[in-house]
Each structure stands twice: as C-alpha cells, then as structure tokens.
Amino acid sequence: MEIDPVIREWLRLAAQAPSSHNTQPWRFRVDRAGVEVWTDPARSLPVNDSTGRERIISCGCAVLNLRVAAAADGQGLNVRPEQAGDGPFVRLLTGHQGGPDRQELAPLRDGIGARHSWRGRFRPDAPAPDIIATLVQAARQEGAWLRPVTDPECCGEVADLVRGATAAQWKNPAWRRELAHWMRAPSHGDGLPVGRLSGGLTRWSVRHLVSARAMARGEARAARAAPVLLALGTGIEGPMQWLTAGQALQRVLLEAARHGLCARYLNQPIQQAEWRPKLAERLGGGQPQLLFALGRPYGTPHPTPRRPLDEMLKR
Ligand SMILES: Cc1cc2nc3c(=O)[nH]c(=O)nc-3n(C[C@H](O)[C@H](O)[C@H](O)COP(=O)(O)O)c2cc1C
C-alpha cells in the first residue's frame, strides 16, 4: 500500500523520538484505519535493558510525537494501547475529533525538531517555577508523575545512587561491549554517533580503558550540579505503564524544548534492578522510570542520525 504523504510526514516526526542508545526500536504499520506502533525486539539491549522496559518507553515517545504531528495537522486520533504476544503495541486510528487533547498537543509540533539530548554541562540557572509546574502537569496529563528533586539532602542521596549504579554498570564488561556496539559512524543512521576514523579507538576505550570510578564521579557531579533534577515515574510497573511513561516523557521534553531546555539522562539507578528500590524510596515511592537533569546547555546539541523510514515499516 502506498503511504499517504501526510502520514509519511507523521512517521518521520515519530522517528525523531529519543530512544536508549538511539536504537530506534519501533516499527510502524499503516493501513486504511490509521497507524500502529510496534516495538522491534531485534533492536533490544539485552544487558542495559534486559526486560525491554526502555524499549517500550522509547516507543511511547514515538507515539506521542505521532499524536502531536496529527494534532498539528488538525487531525484527532483515537489512541488504543493493545497487548500482543511479543509485547504491547499502539493503534492510532485516524478520522476522530480529538477534543482538548488536540489543542494542547498541536503547539508542541515545533519542539519535535528542537528537542535533543545533552551530555555536557548546563548553564547554572534553574528553569522558572512556572515552567516546572507546566512540565509536572504535562506528565500528569499522560497518567505519569514528574517529581523535581529540590531538597539538597535528597539531591545528594540521589547523586550517591547515581555514582554507585554508574560504577556497577562500567564494571560490567558485557555492558561496556553493548554500549561500544551501538557507537557508530553517523552514516549508519542509528546508534550513538562517533567519528568515522576515530570511532574504532573510541569503542576500544569504552570496552577497555574508561575508568568506572571516573565515570561514576562525573555522573554524580552532573546530578549534583543539575539546574533541576527530575524523576518521572508511574504508580505501578508493567509494559502498559512503560508506554505511558514514554508518552509522558516525550510530552515533558517537548514542552521543555519550547523553553530551550534539554535533558541529560541519569538513569543508571533505574537501569540496575538492585538500585531501583533505593531510588524509589528516596523519591517517596512509586515506580521511577526515568531520571534526568534539565537545563539550558552550554553549547549547541547536535542532532543524532535516524534510519530511512522504509526500514521502520512493518509489512
Ligand atoms: C528510555 C530512554 C533511556 C535513555 N537513557 C539514556 C542514558 O541512560 N544515558 C544517556 O546518555 N542517554 C540516554 N537516553 C538518550 C538517548 O541516548 C538519545 O535519545 C538518543 O541517543 C537519540 O538522541 P536524541 O535524544 O538527541 O535524539 C535515553 C533515552 C530514552 C528514550
């Protein structure tokens, strides 16, 4: 079936979503009723994300982008998460009214191209309280919670968890190998971009040279220096909640992008199963799904590559 150019553009925008290690673990199926977003198990990260939680969160981010793209074109979508044998997927049926959701999502359209992840330093100024309140509300509208970690003592404790979990990750040779595997020249269209000539050396140092202690110290410092440290989570745990978390994350990030704000992820205590309950306890309960610093970057974030759309289509 030839895909309508309008829907093709929605899919292009959906694929601008963030994903762990830029794996782009989504597949799109288009038929007369609308679009389906499926996860792609072939693009999983068995060490970093053994349960597929982040893979499904990433697909949730793509779903939100699709909803925003349709809303900006004045189209409502009926969004139906469904459970299939190999995980959840989302049906987005076209030709609906859309209601208030459509009016609220449409202005986020420009944020899709403006949003980028950041791994460098932030300017010290914290986002204004009314911006934070908008972000908290954005997560709530998607059925998730967003908690700013503002108490200095709690912030210090969370930074200590980031340090411990980062050290554990970097002490695991399999985790290092998996990260190095996803470090690629931009021409690959996926993964974490490294120079075409220097990439081999970068991958070798990720596998063998980088000091776990130095990484841990650096990540803890980033948590402590965050203009604002934010945790996003759900009430309970499960694949449907991961889809919710992904849509909430992307709604928060697109709102943030409108104010020139970027996220630096500090997910390590969530990615490591044994550290997650400790983080949940410090945050006051619930299921933390993402932890990130948010601020205005020093410098300009570079866009990361995406694969050709045809590679993301499910026949
Ligand atoms: C669920 C999820 C988890 C992520 N975890 C991390 C992380 O632990 N560390 C990190 O530096 N980036 C993390 N990222 C950011 C991705 O690396 C980033 O989205 C990807 O490289 C694409 O780049 P972009 O966000 O600038 O488009 C995560 C993104 C998602 C959606």
Is the residue at 312 inside a domain? no
Q: Would you state the structure tokens that stand for residue 209, as one six-digit string?
A: 């040279």
CA of 285 to the centre of ligand 1 (A): 24
Phi, psi of 257 (to 5 degrees): -60, -30
- Asked if residue 111 and residue 145 are part of one domain, the reply reads no
- Please give the pLDDT value at position 195: 93
Mean pLDDT lowest for which of 85-94, 292-301, 305-314? 85-94
> Which residue, judged by its Cα, is nearest atom 4 of ligand 1?
20
pLDDT at 251 over 80: yes
* 8 A C-beta contact, residue 175 and residue 185: no
* CATH code where residue 107 lies: 3.40.109.10
CA of 94 to the centre of ligand 1 (A): 29
- Please give the pLDDT value at position 294: 98
pLDDT at 146 over 90: yes
Burial per residue of 110-130, b for 16 or more beta-carbon CB atoms within 10 angstroms, e otherwise: ebbeebbebeeebeeebbeee
CA of 119 to the centre of ligand 1 (A): 10
Is the residue at 123 inside a domain? no
- Please give the pLDDT value at position 1: 78
> Which of 266, 197, 173 has the alpha carbon at shortest distance from 225?
266
- Which ligand 1 atom is the nearest neighbour of the CA of 18? 19
19 touches ligand 1 (CB under 6 Å): yes
177-218 pLDDT per residue, tens? 999 999 999 999 999 999 988 999 999 999 999 999 999 999
Domain that holds residue 275: 129-295
Is the residue at 309 inside a domain? no
- Please give the pLDDT value at position 86: 76
Q: Which of 215, 265, 289, 306 to mutate to test the pocket of ligand 1 (most atoms within 8 A of CB)?
A: 265
54 touches ligand 1 (CB under 6 Å): yes
Measured distance CA(163)–CA(16) in Å, rounded: 30
